[in-house]
Amino acid sequence: MKDSKPTNRRHLLKAATGVLLAGALPRTLLAQTTAAEAERHFDPRPGDWKSYEVVTRVNLQRASGPSTVWIPLPSVDTDWQRTLSNNWSGNAKSMKVGNDPHYGARFLVAEFDGSAPPRLEVVSRIQTRDRAENWRTRTPGVESSDDLKLWLQPTDLMPLDGIVKKTALQITSGAKTDEGKVQRIYDWIVLNTFREPKVRGCGTGDIKTMLETGNFGGKCADLNGLFVGLCRAAGVPARDVYGIRIAPSAFGYRELGGKPASLQGAQHCRAEVYLKQHGWVAMDPADVAKVMRQETPSWIKDPDHPLVAPVRQALFGGWEGNWMGYNFAHDVRLPGSSAGKVGFLMYPQAESHGEAYDSLAPDSFAYTITARAI
């Protein structure tokens, strides 16, 4: 794949963006908007830890018999997140913690006998902080080669052969280092994929189908999943981090934060890559696409637009700590579930009489998620 293609596409996108913006807003308002956007910045920096309490409440509807609810628990302890505690209460006959043996994801399994409408509350307390990689210094990672093998493996929705391997090699052709490969793939995702608001939830993460059909629209599990898959296929350890936005962005970006009083639909998947000279490094090209598509009434199609550029730069190596990670898990088997594996676990799951509830419909499922700073 030639470098000239993204460059030409960028020029076309710049031209298209100019037409869209100019046609969508009155001239006076356009001038005011442009001035305001020019002042915007997005620059997360590691600093003090912030503490949050996240509460998930379930009042299961239409449950006339035995039912089971699975709630993801934050299972991440790193230099950017600390899990302090998980507590739960409710009228289940049994409540216990389950574990995914492959990736270490943890979740609460609550079983109800049907004698009363199922009620469940899970309270998680965590600490989190911003991330930003200092590319001018070296802080070599400490992961062993055996530990890293897990993050180079395919998953059900992330094959690493065929068109995935071919695309990864085309994108990274000529790159001399892992850092160079990751930069190429990140830029390719930003330039070639786009946020598609009509996709349900966070998408499915079926990267093979994306590449085979050429349909590069999706949401975070699709776009960051494609980024992770391409990195793995290029030989760079990478992983998805599944979580939820728990607070507004400190930088004023509406689409990069959550509304603490109502976090249903605030789930968000991020990504990390492992670089020998830096360890695990934060990445989030999907949020660049989200800002381009949804931060303003008009679709911004220029990644160098003054509203987008600081986000694009910062999310290569950093992210804001207004988000809680649940786990790094793919293809999770929930004990007692009749629905088989789930591709990833960042939404509450439930079944009654063997029938699965729609985790992407919190109103009919009847669950709420809230957060507060503590």
Amino acid found at 279:
G
Would the pTM count as exceeding 0.75? yes
The first and second tokens of residue 169, run together, are 């090699």
- Angstrom distances, CA of residue 14 to CA of 76, 120, 300, 339: 40, 50, 9, 46
Nearest to 216 by CA among 208, 268, 343: 208
pLDDT in tens, the chain (374 residues): 333 333 344 443 333 333 333 334 444 434 444 545 556 799 999 999 999 999 999 998 777 789 999 999 999 999 999 999 999 999 999 999 999 999 999 999 999 998 899 999 999 999 999 999 999 998 888 899 999 999 999 999 999 999 999 999 999 999 999 999 999 999 999 999 999 999 999 999 999 999 999 999 999 999 999 999 999 999 999 999 999 999 999 999 999 999 999 999 999 999 999 999 999 999 999 999 999 999 999 999 999 999 999 999 999 999 999 999 999 999 999 999 988 899 999 999 999 988 899 999 999 899 999 999 99
